[in-house]
């Protein structure tokens, strides 16, 4: 009986690992599941506060901007149905928050739901709020963007696996990582 139990032990251990969700396919930075995605860092630019959130000096010149000059105020971490000032969500990025944007004038509720699902998996602050926001942005060059400080992933359709891989890098490059976000 002992020999049969020893032979069954590896299978039992594998089954318990699979049941708890720990597999080699976990999307971790540098992990095999994330190797097919590229989240290159943008150049370092000045990231001071501007005097007005309507300033054209906001951002780093990219579309959408993922770093640079920004407003002294930031947005609440929630899902918005109206466009929010880019200058404000840039400040969220500086704090290590994730920003998920969409440009769907004809509507794309299913895809926005995927962005909101990624938002629900973002890093959580000590106040229990997930440090991410979702908002429309009519200036996007593609339908969807997922961003962290100095990183942008553009998509024509939402790829939940790519978003999970990007979120694995949350706080990695932000100048003020881990700061709380209000709901």
In tens, the pLDDT along 10-28 reads 333 333 333 333 333 444 4
Whole-prediction pTM = 0.83
Cα of 15 vs its chain's centroid, Å: 31
What does pLDDT average to over the chain? 86
**In this predicted structure, what is the pLDDT of residue 57?**
84
Q: Is the pLDDT of residue 6 over 90?
A: no
Residue 37, pLDDT > 70, answer: yes
DSSP calls for 97-143: -EEEEE--TT--HHHHHHHHHHHTTSPBPTTS-BSEEEEE-TT-SSS
pLDDT class of 29 with cuts at 50, 70, 90: low
């Amino acid at each position: 009986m002992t020999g049969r139990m020893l032979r069954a032990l590896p299978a039992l251990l594998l089954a318990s690992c699979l049941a708890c969700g720990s597999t080699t396919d976990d999307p971790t930075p540098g992990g095999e599941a994330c190797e097919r995605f590229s989240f290159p860092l943008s150049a370092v630019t000045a990231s001071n506060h501007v005097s007005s959130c309507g300033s054209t000096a906001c951002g780093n010149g990219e579309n959408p901007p993922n770093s640079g000059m920004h407003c002294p105020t930031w947005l609440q971490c929630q899902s918005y149905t109206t466009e929010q000032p880019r200058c404000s969500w840039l400040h969220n990025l500086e704090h290590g928050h994730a920003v998920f944007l969409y440009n769907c004038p004809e509507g794309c509720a299913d895809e926005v739901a995927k962005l909101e699902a990624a938002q629900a998996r973002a890093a959580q602050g000590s106040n229990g709020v997930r440090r991410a926001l979702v908002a429309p942005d009519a200036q996007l060059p593609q339908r969807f963007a997922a961003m962290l400080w100095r990183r942008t992933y553009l998509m024509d359709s939402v790829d939940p696996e790519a978003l999970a891989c990007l979120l694995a890098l949350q706080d990695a490059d932000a100048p003020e990582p881990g700061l709380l976000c209000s709901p």
